[in-house]
Every structure is written in structure tokens, then in C-alpha cells.
Amino acid sequence: MQPLERLIEADRVHRSVYTDQEIFDREIENIWEKTWVYCGHESQLRKAGDYVTVQIGRQPMIMVRGLDGRIRVLYNRCPHRGVQLCGNRQGNTGSTFVCSYHAWTFHLDGRVKGIPLSHAYDGTRMTSENPDCSMKPAARVDSYRGFVFASLRAEGPGLAEFLGEAKIAFDDMCDRSPLGEVEIVPVCHRVVQHSNWKFFMENQLDALHPSVTHQSTGVAAGRVERRLREQGRTPPLYYHYLSTFASSFEQWDSVQTVNFPRGHGILKGYMGLRPDDPDTKEYVAAMHKAYGEKKAEEFLGRSIHHVLIYPYLSVQSPLQQLRVLRPVAPNKTLSEIWHFRLKGVAPAIYRRALWYFNLVNSPATMINADDLENWTKGQWGLESQGGEWVSFHRNHGGDTQEGEVTFSNHGTSEAVMRSQFKAWVQYMGAARP
Amino acid sequence: MTDAKLQKRLLEDVVIFENRDSSRTGAQLLAPDHAPAAPAAGGTLPARGVLAQGSQPSSLQQRVEQFLFHQAELLDGKHWGAYIDLFTDEGLYWMPATPEQTEWLDSPSIFAEDKRMMEIRMGRVTHPNAWSQAPQWGTSHLVGNTVIESVDEREVRVRSRFQMVELRRDQLRHFAGTYRHTLRRLGDDFGIVLQRVDLLNGQAPFDYVLQIWV
């Protein structure tokens, strides 16, 4: 492995950052197992004992609601012989975790509760007062507007500092509810990407690719949309979700990206999600009533397509969906896809977002089918010796810097990738021996 | 940058794409003739079995089975248009995300497609620039355990099981599950009002996605 500073230049990066096992291991150690990682939403754990299992880097964790109502994140490991305590992805464990091997039991906060024939430990150092007898908790757990994160390290920035401006992902999602809250829809689609996690993160704010990659779907949807118009009918909004992907290069170039420190960023909105139908009018009226007209219009008028929280989260806040990456190997990434219901809105507003979830984010997606194909082929290309560098030269030098924020000026600027690698260097560089 | 300043920047320059003429779309502009995968659609349709043609005496069970076999064969032969035509005008192809679901309007589905959405999906996979269709790709379905659950003058409700193997690039994937067809009786033939597909592995991680109906 070459020294990291020789792999990252201002306008290009070395291919090995996508393919090298040693670099990947260091990413897991220095990024995922240190920084704040998204675990889930409070509404997944309604009552005490409700749990979900979640992967943080290489660590299998349990997020659980305690008898005191608090949410904790614990290592999914029995301190006796190491067996995982929860074998399911979710469920309710009652008031106790029970190990399936030798029946050690634990309180919901991880403290050991009972050990069979515990006198057998008398005189040893493994007695119930020893913290080694209890489940190990994540060093830090915090949440923002119901979204729970954990960090496996006690040191480092707090959650608010980590999120920075990108916290607008959750504000924008929740503010669109007249009650200011969302609840999770308990279905998680999981799709394996046969590519390095960076492909997805770069792709999310890459406005040059949609009309190329998704042309087939955009054209097919646009054709049906136009036919309905010619027949004097109003095509449903969700056809537009698909047809806009095939917009022209010039249109895509007119969208802007906003790039924050730590690699976070925003692709500004382009779809137009405020049609003039009675359902929308009723919804807007409810928003005005809840927040006053000025504030409500500010919430509804935000121009966001999605927000990236680097290095693993893509939040499509106007449609209340979220994709989270769990890297598995340099060439393998698991994506988990969730969506949320705005509290206090009519079913029609939920249905509008649901169509996007079904058409774009489900495992029968007509959009990601072609993205995944690109990323797989991209990974193979970078594993080859046909070239050493990955180019991010597009509009290099043409971005606008305001303090720590970079505005792309052009939608298709590779400012996004340059910004992500700036953050990557900071994460990885801090660990330089 | 302060919150208020960001808020202001986000309220500026709202770009809304209208549905303009798609001939200006990116790849088309650059490579109009790129045609990696000629669609198989348009080839000779598989012949219906004699029992479905009415020339031989046949039972309802046999006609239903012949219909299901034909549907599977249309899929495997990539006869997308003929496949869509098996559905009635208000027909729906539905694959719920979980087996507990009873409706598709207020809960997530893997597929919930009426004929127009099916037409869009067909339009995608037959477009010359459907990049994911460039590698070799095909399916083989086996349908069985066919049980007629109820019959009246208008409709037949049928439960069956399927096994499907998909080839993509050099890999095989295996899918299995249950079909539930609500069939409108059209003389001796049928039209699909609703096809519910419960995939056994619908909540397991998908290694790649489903490009077409199962």
C-alpha cells in the first residue's frame, strides 16, 4: 500500500482506494468504528424490550429500548463465551436477554442479571460485579429528531458536530409533518452492491449520470406520460419521478450541489413535488395552520432532492426515504432502504412518497437496476491495470467557496467527489502512523 | 454558514424539470444508435396447449393450469407485450414486500403495477440503452401445486407455487414462492384481474434487483 497522501490529489484519486483490502480495513477502523453511525429510528422500538440488530463496521450491535424507556446500543455478544444474544434482525426480548448457549441473562441495559449455578464463579475474578460479566455498550448513543446514532469511541465530535449543516436531512423530513415527526414504515429492503461503498456515495450527487444511465426508464415513462396528456388526462405525479431522470444534460447542469465539511452534501431539488391537486391544498393548509404561513412555506419551499451524510447515508427528505450503507468488503456493500410516514397527514400524501419508494427504491427498482450495473462494471474497471487514476477534474477550480461550504455552480461539477475525498483524507489521515 | 443563510440558499434557484421532449436526453444525444441488446420480443409466440384451445374436452383445472403455464412461458420467452395482454384493463401485478400485507396503496410493495406501469417497465427493458440488459439474461419458471380456491360465474381464484431460476451475466439466482391469481372468466379463457406474488426470499438481501415480473 502506498502512503495515503500519494493516493489522493485535488482532482483525482488512485484506484486502490476502491479496491485495496488494507485500505478498506483501515476505513472500517478509522471511519465506521469511530464516527457516528446511523442505527435506526426511535419508532422501531415502541416498547421496552423491542430491539433491532445493526452492523457498525465489523461490530454486530443491538439497539434496544430499556425498561426506563431509554434506547441503548450494545454489542451483540455474550460476555461468557461470545455467542450472539439476538439471533434475529428484530423482535422483543421481554425484560431480559437470554444466551442460547448457557443461559446467562442480562438486563436491557446490558448488566448481567443471572448466571446458572453462579457459585461456581466464587473465588474467580469473573463475578457479577466485574463489568466483564456484562454486555459491552457502545461508547456513545445520541439521537436527532428521533434518528438514533451510535459511536464506538468515547472521544471525537458529538453527534450535532458530526452532522453539522447536514442535519437538515432530518429537519427537512420531519418539518414536512404538521406534527414535526415521522414514524418508520417497518419494511427494510436490502440490496447488495458489488462495488466499493464510494461508488454509491459519489453517484448520489452525480447529476451527469441520470440522463445517461436511466435514459431507458425515463424515456419509457415520458412516452406514457405524453400519451396520457395527448388524451387530455393528467398523468400521475409518479410517472414524473421516472421521466425526469431522462432530462437533458443542460437541465441537470442547472441543478446545484452544496458541499459541506466532513463530506456531507445536498443535491438541490428538481422534481417539483407541489402539484395543485386538492390533497396537496389540504396538506398545505394543515402546514400553514401548524406553523404559520411564513414558516410553513419555508419548510415546503426548500429545494432539496437528497442530503448525503458522509460516508454512509443518503436521505431523500422531501419523500421521507433513507438509504444506509454497511460496507462488507472493498467490492461489496450492503444497502438498507427505509421509508417513513409523516405524522398527521392524509393518506394521499403518504401514497405520493410510497410510489417513489416502490418505483425507485424497491428491489424491483427501474432506476437502480442500471446504477448497480454501472457500479459493478466500475469496480471491475478499477481492479484492472488499464489506468491508475480516477478523474474528478470536471469543473475543478470553478466552484464557489463560502467559508467551509462549496457550491458547485454547475450541477454536474465533480465538486461532490472532491469534497468527499477531502473528508476521507481527514478521517484516514488522523490515523496516519 | 448559519442556519438562516443555508435556509436562504436552499430557497433560491428552485429548478423544476418539466417533461420535455425526451429526444434531448443525455445518452441519446451522444449515442443514438447504441444497441447492445436486441429485445427478444416480437419472436414467435409459444403455441397454447391443445387443452386451452377448446378443441379437446378439458376440465377447469386443466384450463387454469394451461393458462398459468402459458403465462410463465411468455415471461421466459420475453414476450412482454403478450404477457401484459394477459391482464384485464384494470388488472394488477402485485408483489407485496411482506406476506402479511393485504393492500398495496398504503404499504410498500416490491411490485404494484397496473398495465400502464407494466408498459413503462417493458419500455425500459426493450430500450436499446437499457444498460443492465446488455449482459446475457434470462429466466426459467416452473409452476405447480395448482389449487383452485374458489369459482363462480365471473371469476376463478387460483393458488400455485413457482420456482424460478434467473441467469444474469454468468450467475444463477434462485427465486421461489406463491402465486395467487384472480382470473376473470372469458369464455374458456381467462384474464388476470390480480396476480399476487409472495416471494419466499422477498425480505432477504437481493443480490442485484428484479428487472422484470417474476
Picking from A224, A247, A374, A380 by the largest number of B CB atoms within 10 A of its own CB, the best residue to mutate is A247
Picking from B17, B126, B206 by the largest number of A CB atoms within 10 A of its own CB, the best residue to mutate is B17
Q: Which domain holds residue B122?
A: 60-214
Report the CATH number at residue B153: 3.10.450.50
Look at residue A340 and tell me if it is in a domain.
Answer: yes
Neighbours of B59 (CB within 10 A): 10
Structural domain total, chain B: 1
- Chain B residues with CB inside 8 Å of A222's CB? 19, 22
Instruction: Mark which residues 8-27 of B lie under 8 Å from A by CB.
Output: 9-17, 19-20, 22, 24-27
Look at residue B143 and tell me if it is in a domain.
Answer: yes
Judged by a CB distance cut-off of 8 A, whether residue A160 touches chain B is no
pLDDT at A335 over 90: yes
Q: Which of A91, A115, A145 is the last residue of a domain?
A: A145
Picking from B10, B126, B212 by the largest number of A CB atoms within 10 A of its own CB, the best residue to mutate is B10
Look at residue B87 and tell me if it is in a domain.
Answer: yes
- pLDDT digits 0-9 by tens, A303-314: 999 999 999 999
Look at residue A243 and tell me if it is in a domain.
Answer: yes
Percent of chain A surpassing pLDDT 70: 99
| Closest of A260, A353, A345 to residue A296, by C-alpha | A345
Q: Given this model, what pLDDT does residue B15 score?
A: 61
All three cell numbers of A95, joined, read 425484560
Look at residue B28 and tell me if it is in a domain.
Answer: no
**Same domain for A308 and A264:** yes
Look at residue B4 and tell me if it is in a domain.
Answer: no
Q: Given this model, what pLDDT does residue B26 score?
A: 64
Judged by a CB distance cut-off of 8 A, whether residue A301 touches chain B is yes
Kindly identify which residue of chain B lies nearest to residue A239, measuring between CA atoms: B117
- Chain A residues with CB inside 8 Å of B98's CB? 187
pLDDT at A144 over 70: yes
Picking from B1, B120, B200 by the largest number of A CB atoms within 10 A of its own CB, the best residue to mutate is B120
Judged by a CB distance cut-off of 8 A, whether residue A98 touches chain B is no
Query: Could you tell me whether strands A59-65 and A71-75 are parallel, antiparallel, or unpaired per DSSP bridges?
Result: antiparallel
Give the mean pLDDT of chain A. 95
All three cell numbers of B111, joined, read 411490485
Q: Given this model, what pLDDT does residue A260 score?
A: 96
- pLDDT digits 0-9 by tens, A372-392: 999 999 999 999 999 999 999
- Minimum-distance CB partner of B116 among A224, A301, A407: A224
Q: What would the 3-class secondary structure string for B127-164 be?
A: CCCCHHHCCCEEEEEEEEEEEEEEECCCEEEEEEEEEE
Q: Given this model, what pLDDT does residue A408 score?
A: 92
**Same domain for A135 and A171:** no
All three cell numbers of B196, joined, read 399476487
In the predicted model, what is the mean pLDDT of residues B179-199? 97
Structural domain total, chain A: 2
Percent of chain B surpassing pLDDT 70: 85
- pLDDT digits 0-9 by tens, B114-126: 999 999 999 999 9
CB contact under 8 A, B132 and A372: yes
In the predicted model, what is the mean pLDDT of residues A344-356? 95
Q: Given this model, what pLDDT does residue B174 score?
A: 96
Look at residue A232 and tell me if it is in a domain.
Answer: yes
**CA gap A206, A200 in Å, rounded:** 10
Ranking A139-143, A178-182, A251-255 by mean pLDDT, the lowest is A251-255
**Same domain for A233 and A128:** no
**Same domain for A85 and A230:** no
**Same domain for A179 and A133:** no
pTM of the model: 0.94
In the predicted model, what is the mean pLDDT of residues A189-198? 98
Q: Given this model, what pLDDT does residue B37 score?
A: 47
Look at residue B93 and tell me if it is in a domain.
Answer: yes
Percent of chain A surpassing pLDDT 90: 89
**Same domain for A45 and A178:** no
Q: Which of A81, A114, A145 is the last residue of a domain?
A: A145
Look at residue B141 and tell me if it is in a domain.
Answer: yes
Q: Given this model, what pLDDT does residue A431 score?
A: 46
Output b/e per residue, A276-295; b: 16+ Cβ within 10 A: eeeebeebeebbbebbeeee
Q: Predicted confidence band at A433 (pLDDT cuts at 50, 70, 90)?
A: very low
In the predicted model, what is the mean pLDDT of residues A401-424? 94
**Same domain for A291 and A421:** yes
Look at residue A306 and tell me if it is in a domain.
Answer: yes
Judged by a CB distance cut-off of 8 A, whether residue B29 touches chain A is yes
CB contact under 8 A, A373 and B131: yes
CA distance A220 to chain B (A): 5
pLDDT at A347 over 80: yes
Instruction: Mark which residues 46-105 of B lie under 8 Å from A by CB.
Output: 95, 97-98, 105
Report the CATH number at residue A307: 3.90.380.10
Kindly identify which residue of chain A lies nearest to residue B130, measuring between CA atoms: A216
Query: Could you tell me whether strands B206-207 and A182-193 are parallel, antiparallel, or unpaired per DSSP bridges?
Result: parallel
**CA gap A84, A136 in Å, rounded:** 12
**Same domain for A289 and A219:** yes
Judged by a CB distance cut-off of 8 A, whether residue A269 touches chain B is yes
In the predicted model, what is the mean pLDDT of residues B128-144? 93
Q: Given this model, what pLDDT does residue B124 score?
A: 94
**Same domain for A184 and A83:** no
Whether the bond into A311 is cis, omega within 30 of 0: yes
pLDDT at A432 over 60: no
Q: Which domain holds residue A425?
A: 165-429
Look at residue A17 and tell me if it is in a domain.
Answer: no
**CA gap B122, B212 in Å, rounded:** 8
Judged by a CB distance cut-off of 8 A, whether residue A242 touches chain B is yes
Look at residue B3 and tell me if it is in a domain.
Answer: no
- Chain B residues with CB inside 8 Å of A272's CB? 16-17
**Same domain for A177 and A293:** yes
Kindly identify which residue of chain B lies nearest to residue A267, measuring between CA atoms: B10
Look at residue A113 and tell me if it is in a domain.
Answer: yes
Q: Predicted confidence band at B145 (pLDDT cuts at 50, 70, 90)?
A: very high
- pLDDT digits 0-9 by tens, A207-224: 999 999 999 999 999 999
**Same domain for A274 and A127:** no
Look at residue A169 and tell me if it is in a domain.
Answer: yes
Q: Given this model, what pLDDT does residue B23 score?
A: 53
Look at residue A12 and tell me if it is in a domain.
Answer: no
The three-state secondary structure class of B189 is strand
Give me the total of CB pairs closer than 8 Å, taking one residue from chain A and one from chain B. Answer: 202
- pLDDT digits 0-9 by tens, B6-61: 777 777 655 666 655 545 666 666 555 444 444 444 578 888 888 877 778 899 99
Look at residue B163 and tell me if it is in a domain.
Answer: yes
**Same domain for A296 and A225:** yes
CA distance B36 to chain A (A): 13
- Minimum-distance CB partner of B208 among A266, A357, A372: A372
Report the CATH number at residue A131: 2.102.10.10
